[in-house]
Amino acid sequence: LIRGRRFIFNSPDSMSGLIALTRDLEAMGESLDIFASRGESGGHRSSIVAIAEGRADIAAIDCQSWALAQRFEPAARGVKVVGWTARRKGLPYITARTTPASLIAAMREGVAAVEGGASEQPLVQRVG
């Protein structure tokens, strides 16, 4: 289904944009060589736009970037999800060890709200 297609990825060091798909292909005995071409877009949003404009056929987009694109990127209306990479642990949110406990609590609340979609208020406004 994806063999011979034009693949676009955000950056070579991206877990969601390139590495996850590479690992999934390797688990099936394949490699990125199945694609007719591979190109770097510079970002998930740029990959979505490239697909919508017909400059590429397939990309791997992380779930948070996809959710944001569906809300704010008009090009997202011109693409659709056709599959998923294997489940992997998500990336950690980090802060300095010297961050005050009250700010850490606010950050955790904000992250939980973003993950659960509980609030439309931007994380930056909640944190301070």
Assigned domain for 69 exists: yes
Per the structure, the count of domains in the chain is 2
Q: Which domain holds residue 123?
A: 92-128
Assigned domain for 114 exists: yes
Assigned domain for 85 exists: no
- pLDDT at res. 128: 44
Assigned domain for 10 exists: yes
Entry pTM: 0.70
Assigned domain for 117 exists: yes
CA distance 25 to 16: 14
- pLDDT at res. 116: 62
- Distance, first Cα to last Cα, the chain: 47
- pLDDT at res. 121: 46
Same domain, 25 and 47: yes
Same domain, 61 and 112: no
Assigned domain for 33 exists: yes
Assigned domain for 84 exists: no
Provide the 8-state DSSP code for 94. -
pLDDT tens digit sequence for 99-118: 999 998 988 888 877 766 54
- pLDDT at res. 51: 96
- pLDDT at res. 115: 62
Same domain, 44 and 73: yes
Regions in the chain scoring below 70 on pLDDT? 89-91, 115-128
CA distance 10 to 59: 8
Assigned domain for 43 exists: yes
Three-state DSSP class for residue 52: helix
